[in-house]
Homo-oligomer: A and B are copies of this chain.
Amino acid sequence: MNAFTIAQTEPGRRARLGKLHTAHGTALTPAFMPVGTRGCVKGILPQTLRETGAQIMLSNTYHLLLRPGVDIVESLGGLHRFTAWDGPILTDSGGYQVFSLSSLNRVGEDGVEFASHIDGRPIFLNAEIATRIQNRLGADIIMCFDECTPYPCETERIEKAVERTVRWARQCKESHDNPRQMLFGIIQGGVDLSLRDRCLDALIPMDFDGYAVGGLSVGEGHEAMIRTVAHTAAGLPESKPRYLMGVGMPVDIVAAVRAGVDMFDCVLPSRNGRNGFAFTENGAIRLRNSIHGSDPDPIERDCPCPTCRNFSRSAIRHFFNVGEMLGPILATIHNLTYYQRLMTRIRDRIADGSFGVWSEEFIRTRKPNGIEENES
């Protein structure tokens, strides 16, 4: 329990196959974690989420803190019971949402005071509180409270965020009080490689159970993201799981696995699904498009998901057109399955030694598409 074992590393390369052992089961890595912001992936039952191949669900501390509140989740027996997801769960610390969603009242060395984006009531968070909250929510993997900078950003501000992130990481480590949970440190530093190094140098001696690369996928683009990830991942200890937060498009994931990343999360498969975009091997399709009006084919012919096994593009388009929630549900199920099948393919290619060649081809052929889709 609470260990990471590396089964295989591609000779001469960084991509690796691993197993993340948690109090609620083992996940194969590289792994993609669907996002259940407020305790569920929107519109998806836990049993359906399991059928997509998902192994770990992510939930957002900030949202759960606002509603229903930590007391309720804890009194119900913790997040697993509350969400009915009995596999591994990861919670973020709330830091990202505090800085991106709420009105900040005051950011100081002692913590952050902000106004709830629901009802405006003031809430104070700092490293210790964010950690205690996550201890009580009871996820299997919890994250340090950090400061995520936007893009672009002045060097001085990134520097300050790195210093805070380091100081807060130490406080999180000291406050952490639940041995059934793994605590991950987060490396910040924007796209400034020397600031990433400074953060690495400070956090590695703290010996976290795993390390995340934070502050990316905020507008810097694929090239800058991958350059930063490659540099940062290379500086992380071999033996610990590496998690690239909030990423991303399929091409970003494949490129980051090449850089040695083990874990990912992103709202794209579910959010794009709700908006009528479906991922396929031949690029994204817009399910509302009239060309699907009488199309008897499924979204993707060889996809084993319940959507593709049962529904034509025509029927799914109809559900979107008339405002039936089954449209978003069906597209989300397919997209989540698409992402999990991608991860399975990545793991299979690492296992049989062909990932290097396969991933080069994948990136070469997908990049333009990928970047278009990201903007849609």
Contact = CB atoms under 8 A, between A and B. Distances in A.
A72 B38 contact: no
Contacts of A68: 293, 314, 317-318, 321
Contacts of A47: 306
Contact of A319 (B40, B75, B296, B314): B40
A67 B72 CA distance: 44
Interface stretch (A81-89, A150-158, A260-268, A334-342): A81-89
A84 B45 contact: no
Copy tally for this chain in the complex stands at: 2
Interface stretch (A173-181, A324-332, A344-352): A324-332
A339 to B, nearest CB: 19
A310 interface: yes
Given A294-B76, A296-B77, A324 B40 contact: yes
14 contacts: A39-B319, A40-B319, A40-B326, A42-B324, A43-B325, A43-B329, A45-B48, A68-B293, A71-B294, A76-B294, A76-B314, A81-B296, A84-B315, A325-B329
Nearest to A321: B67
Interface string A152-194: 0000000000000000000000000000000000000000000
A77 B294 CA distance: 11
Nearest to A81: B312
Given A324-B38, A325-B325, A315 B76 contact: yes
A12 B318 CA distance: 49
Interface of A is mostly: helix
B81 A318 contact: no
Given A67-B322, A76-B296, A82 B40 contact: no
Interface in A287-318: 293-294, 296, 306, 310-312, 314-315, 317-318
Contacts of A318: 38-39, 67-68, 72, 82
Interface of A: 38-40, 42-48, 63, 67-68, 71-72, 75-77, 81-84, 293-294, 296, 306, 310-312, 314-315, 317-319, 321-322, 324-326, 328-330
A310 B48 CA distance: 13
Query: Which 5 residue pairs of A and B lie closest in terms of their CB atoms, listed nearest first?
Result: A84-B310, A68-B318, A40-B326, A43-B325, A72-B294
Given A39-B315, A47-B306, A75-B296, 7 more contacts: A40-B319, A45-B326, A45-B330, A68-B293, A82-B315, A325-B325, A325-B329
Which of A83, A318, A319, A325 counts the most B-chain CB atoms under 10 A from its CB?
A318
A72 B314 contact: yes
Contacts of A317: 68
Contacts of A321: 67-68
Contact of A83 (B44, B67, B83, B315): B315
A52 to B, nearest CB: 13
B38 A322 contact: yes
Nearest to A313: B76
A324 B20 CA distance: 30
Contacts of A315: 39, 76, 82-84
A319 B328 CA distance: 17
A312 to B, nearest CB: 6
A84 B293 CA distance: 17
A318 B314 CA distance: 34
Nearest to A72: B294
